[in-house]
Structure 1
């Protein structure tokens, strides 16, 4: 288990850890990569941090098999992607280009030795390790680890996911299940919904959030405004201050319906409390804007 910690980590079980501090996010990722001895699988959307690439090369040098799945398309063109593909293949990694002609691969996860995993909101880039609000969840939950491996195998082989049941009780995988499961979470809220998502725009979900607000649920949204010097990037939602989801999934139509996304559901009280505290701190800096949904008139 990686040793990267946050100040609140002491109250969190050793099998699961949330890392929010920008510098520690990189340490958490490097810790999981460095722990692998047999096999490392990961999804990459962008990567320009050489310490991460060096860590992958070191894993290969110690005899660890490294498999990566990459999208074929990303904002900024294919040139950067081809450079990343080439770097990974040159060091000896097995690289799969996600084959779906419509769906872009945007999920962000790592699995080491079928024992530990990361689900994150960030890309391993210099920007996400220094200037953005993002989160890294390190977990040894077998349900998450097994689910991510099932997802990786299916996507690498180009085969569909099982349709009857989710691959993990804790993973929200899009585009197959993200819209329906996120709608269910919003519809089931009893007291409050807190959202950090600068891309919140899907008409159906915005309408549902406004409906819940009319029913008396407190709905707070952050992401459109600066947050204590950090740029908005990561996405999370907290329901009733008792459970949360975080990951790559944005509440936009493109993300929900046309991208491979992965978010993780969190019930552990200490971690949910950590996310609530972070949200409250950012909300205090944003002020009244946190109560606005897309389409609301500013008084």
Structure 2
């Protein structure tokens, strides 16, 4: 038994400290979870976003339970990400880790976290330039958002009024990385139930021309395009997409929000008529008749298979031909989108990215319902219906 008071106190203090250290160590072991690469995203781009993208945890949501868990996708200068699995973090990290510039040309910007990230970037002297569509269909005026960004130090403009609308979803980071997406920066697109795709492109020629398009739209001028990879409305989108679809020999898969352009529907039908396996996933209509009914009728009569996704909001614009060539972009299959709007998409042949598109499509196809009812509804407004 210890009788000396000081010695007894020292022993007691030692026991308390040892107990605290042991408790802390056990707690750390319990809480520790090794980080893993982000689902649908390759760590090849960790040198562009050094702090977090290559170590993000996949976002798990019940609405996307059908989406396959894949190894990171993309090789070389192209990377693909898939929503809603990727969530908003891929966008936020790109903005947070920008060192020189963030330029955004977008139809809708309403996601609070994205807006805050842009304001923060402007606050640390990153060159932030934002162009938003002045009159989005059903989306409300973006004036308050532009005012807030401008107050934070960003440069802002409405998009070029020479186009019917600017429906592009594009972002350029530090002049060397272009985001070409189907998704707006909204809660529905980045945190909700939308099926969306995005390409992160560091091919120098692609980035240069996306930058040239941005500058031309900012300055209200025209741009000369020479990059065959870019699909740009109203310049080459109709020709490029028709050519891509018509090149199919064995298979054609499509996920689209809108399918009522006559020429595109006829090109898809021609594929089916010559024996190409054609599979198309469209949104489940919110009311009848469905504005896609004319296109559905055309391609189904030729032998195409058509389904409607009941779980996700099909806002994607994606085509894969023969498992070898693909398109992802903002273009819908409508005359306004192809001929009158400002839109931006990309043609590519990256095997891993295409594999992810195919696997995601297969999962969506499995849970989708066969389309049955048709009843064509003509409408002059549905060409601008992308509000999510």
User: Same fold per TM (> 0.5)?
Assistant: yes
Contact 2:317 2:328 in 1 (8 A): yes
- Pairwise CA distance, 1:59: 0.9
Contact 2:109 2:132 in 1 (8 A): no
For structure 2, list consecutive stretches of 5 or more residues without a partner in the other structure. Answer: 1-47, 59-68, 285-307, 377-388
Separation of aligned partners in 2, 1:180 and 1:234: 20
CA RMSD after TM alignment: 2.2
TM-score, normalised with respect to structure 2: 0.70
- Asked if residue 19 in structure 1 is aligned to residue 101 in structure 2, the reply is no
Partner of 2:321: 239
Separation of aligned partners in 1, 2:87 and 2:198: 6
Contact 1:9 1:18 in 2 (8 A): no
Q: What secondary structure does 2:367 align onto?
A: helix
- Asked if residue 181 in structure 1 is aligned to residue 263 in structure 2, the reply is no
Deviates further, 235-244 or 137-146: 137-146
Separation of aligned partners in 1, 2:369 and 2:175: 43
- 1:107-129 residue CA offsets vs partner (Å, 9 max, x unmatched): 11111111212111111111112
TM-score, normalised with respect to structure 1: 0.89
- Pairwise CA distance, 1:15: 3.7
Partner of 2:283: 224
- 1:264-294 residue CA offsets vs partner (Å, 9 max, x unmatched): 112110110000001111112225439x999
Q: What secondary structure does 1:168 align onto?
A: coil
Give the aligned length.
290
Partner of 1:195: 254
Partner of 2:270: 211
Partner of 1:259: 341
- 1:204-237 residue CA offsets vs partner (Å, 9 max, x unmatched): 1112211221111121110133536211112111
Q: How does 1:1-299 map to 2 (within 5 A)?
A: 1-2=48-49, 3=53, 7-10=69-72, 12-13=74-75, 15-22=77-84, 24-76=86-138, 79-129=140-190, 130-162=192-224, 166-225=225-284, 227=309, 229-289=311-371
Separation of aligned partners in 2, 1:21 and 1:86: 29
For structure 1, list consecutive stretches of 5 or more residues without a partner in the other structure. Answer: none
Q: What secondary structure does 2:141 align onto?
A: helix
